[in-house]
Amino acid sequence: MLREERTERILQYLAQHGFAKIQEIMELCNVSRPTALRDLIRMENEGLLIRTHGGARSIRRTTAFEPRHRWKESQHAEEKKKSRHWQKIWWRTATRSCWTAARRR
């Protein structure tokens, strides 16, 4: 099967399912694992898909469902700030307890 044919098949599969494991791509295109991986790397470099551990995701599906990073970062900002404050206090307390225990030995 030619590279262009494999590309088209993989993109059609991703359009239908949203995600494909490397094993599914190997069976779909009847190719070896290294060939499937090279195809995924090339297609990611061309901006056609997003490679993941063990497979690939469709670009269309991910942008529709995942909020942008800056938007997610701004959500519940006050609660996150309070949480970081209490984490710092806990860390200082735990560190002091460890130092105190170490000095007693």
DSSP letters, 64-84, are: HHSPPHHHHHHTTHHHHHHHH
pLDDT at 93: 78
pLDDT digits (tens, 9 = 90+) for 25-77: 999 999 999 999 999 999 999 999 999 999 999 987 544 455 566 666 667 77
What class, spelled out in words, does domain 3-64 have in CATH? mainly alpha
**Strand 19-21 vs strand 55-58: parallel, antiparallel, or unpaired?**
antiparallel
| Whole-number Å distance between alpha carbons of 19 and 51 | 10
Task: Collect all residues with Cβ–Cβ distance below 8 Å to 50 and sequence separation of at least 6.
Answer: 44, 56, 57, 58, 59, 62
Per-residue pLDDT reduced to its tens digit, 4-33: 999 999 999 999 999 999 999 999 999 999
Count other Cβ atoms within 10 Å, centred on residue 25.
23
Task: Give 92's Cβ-side CA count (13 Å radius).
Answer: 5
